[in-house]
Amino acid sequence: MKKQRQSNYTCDVLIIGGGSAGLRAAIEAHDAGADVLIISKSKKGDPHTTLARGGINAALGTMDPEDNWVVHAADTLREGEFLADYERVEILCKNAPDAINELVTWGAKFHREKDGRLTQRFFGAHTYRRTVFYEDWTGQEIIRVLMEQVNQRKIKIIDNVYIMKLLLLNSDGDDANRERLSSSSKAQGVAQVPNEQEQEQEKIKGAFGVDIEKKEFITFECKSLILAAGGYTRVYEVSSSRIFENYGEGIALAYEVGVDLVDMEMVQFHPTGMVWPEQAVGTLATEAIRGEGGILLNSQGERFMKNYDPERMELGPRDVVARANYNEIISGRGTEHGGVWLDVTHLRKEVILERLTTMYEQFQKLDGIDISKEKMEVGPTAHYSMGGVVVDINCQTRVTGLFAVGEVISQIHGANRLGGNSLLDTIVFGKIAGGEAARLAKQTGKGNTKKSKDASSQLKSKNDTQTNGFGDNDDDFYDGIFVVKEPIKFRNKLQKVMMEYAGIVREQTRLQNGLEQILELKNELYSNKRHINLKESVIDDNNKFENIVLTSQVKSSLISCEAIIRSALIREESRGAHYRSDFPKLDDERWNLNIYCRKEGNGVSAAAEMTLFKHKVKEIKGRLADFVKSHVKAAHHRTFE
């Protein structure tokens, strides 16, 4: 690793994100011979992954020998309402056992039966028990294991870095050959996605951001870059994400350099987030609680899931259980603080303390209750982004050298994610992304040295050497890096808009009103922007520095919000996490397709247009197709009226 003056860094593979996806990618890239650097805005060892409590899936068959990857894949496709790419689902489920075994080999202390078998618990909408876990903080255990591997390899991590812009070698490529759809169109017919190979490919150069602790600008140069920066659920006022994470920063970074987004309307609301006390609203009550036998009750003491999913009850799909909770609340059968009851008081206390340790401590600390004796008050909370950046099966975007992995990408979970599949996809695809990024970095080093050097010189020719690599006349660069006064007010407003107009239940008029308000906030933000002097190596004004980060956060959020609402307006049906009260039925004939979003025009401004187009979901083939046809497909249609 070479550190240059002015806080510039160079490496082969740069990874943005220190969660399980980024760490697993780093391990693989390092083992493939690449010089790797991980940067993260969170503290080392404390990424969002640590909040993943319940477990990680694999068809190991330790509890139910009948389970196999085909059944796991079929469950994933079915509960995603067949919106996912079946090839990615196959990769996910086929590689799951090896992923678990690798973690165990590295020292993961997953729960075991007395005879030594790995314990597997039920999670919602799974045919068999296939969720491996460590108490109820599985994500934290996985991070512990991965961090040990990263440290053993001496892979460099720089935390407290906030990336605001990706850097490209070539910005000439543009494509206007897609059929456009406005958000108000009826979206008849299917636009064809052009062959990306026919278009001139841009190439990643690096990234630019700020060191939060040192309060200075920082530049990274690389041959390959992996985005592992998380999702966009914090654009909602009630979210299971922490206050500083998941505003769609990774989504925005890719979008701004010409990468398409897909399935952005698919936002999963977890059924059970805390609704009280006020400072804990949205904090997750893990699905492991229901997996261990927790039941849901309304204020009248009725176990209401019998009215919504009588066969699977509390272990139904997350979208069904979340809407059931929501319906009970708005129908006047909610609790004092606007939730429903989650009850485990019928379980033995020793089981709760062994299997739900963190939840016992969480509710005791935050709500002052003993869950072995008192019921928990919970309600839906924005939890997971099924939509995101478009990549191929090797996690490569349409920008050469730019990869993405984890919650920042799409087309693995479809319209509704199975609990336990998110940790799995970070490990399986993290490994793939790391290997592919290292391979491309090696090719760049050998075959494209002259091109890279020339492009680098071209970039630096614009420089005053005191500007961290960028000159005053680079208007496009400055358009992307700006500040506004009191950006937190913008953030709070857009979170309220998203919660009110594009939440768990959607309808055309409300979505249109929500879009108008988001676009007004967007225009206001860009109308009040002020350029930053990038020649300042250190920013001494704390308020100004905080506003730089918060402004970038708001800018990223606006992209996700606009994409969510525009896509939700176009999809005139209910599918998985996307529920339209004016179109309550699933409509495969018209809507078995993915909705894509693309930025049109250069630069970053309020005038930049977001256009939408559609493409049919890939037809399932092979062994999985036969199983789905005979066992699953006919029974997958669900309504919620």
Q: Which residues pair with 162 in a beta bridge?
A: 210
Nearest to 406, CA basis, from 423, 419, 382:
423
- Burial bucket for residue 639 (CB in 10 Å: 0-12, 13-18, 19+): exposed
- Is there a cis peptide before residue 277, judged by omega within 30 degrees of 0? yes
Q: How many helices (H) and strands (E) does the chain have?
A: 18, 22
CA atoms within 13 A on the CB side of 337: 17
Task: Pick the catalytic residue from 48, 270, 355, 491.
Answer: 270
Q: What gap in Å lies between CA 239 and CA 382, rounded to an integer? A: 4
What the block records as the tokens of 626 is 């036969």
Residue-by-residue DSSP string for 332-371: II--TTS-EEEE-TTS-HHHHHHHSHHHHHHHHHHT---T
CB contact at 8 A, 260 and 597: yes
Q: What gap in Å lies between CA 30 and CA 153, rounded to an integer? A: 8
- Burial bucket for residue 200 (CB in 10 Å: 0-12, 13-18, 19+): exposed
Q: What gap in Å lies between CA 163 and CA 17, rounded to an integer? A: 10
**CB neighbours (10 Å) of residue 402?**
28
Task: Pick the catalytic residue from 24, 48, 290, 566.
Answer: 290
CB contact at 8 A, 241 and 234: yes
CA atoms within 13 A on the CB side of 529: 22
**CB neighbours (10 Å) of residue 563?**
29
Q: What gap in Å lies between CA 421 and CA 287, rounded to an integer? A: 12
* Residue 333 is among the residues annotated as catalytic for this protein: no
What the block records as the tokens of 495 is 């979170």
Beta strands 216-221 and 8-10 are parallel
Angle (nearest 5°) at CA 575 between 126 and 190: 125
Angle between helices 96-105 and 86-94 (to 10 degrees): 40
* Residue 290 is among the residues annotated as catalytic for this protein: yes
Catalytic site positions: 270, 290
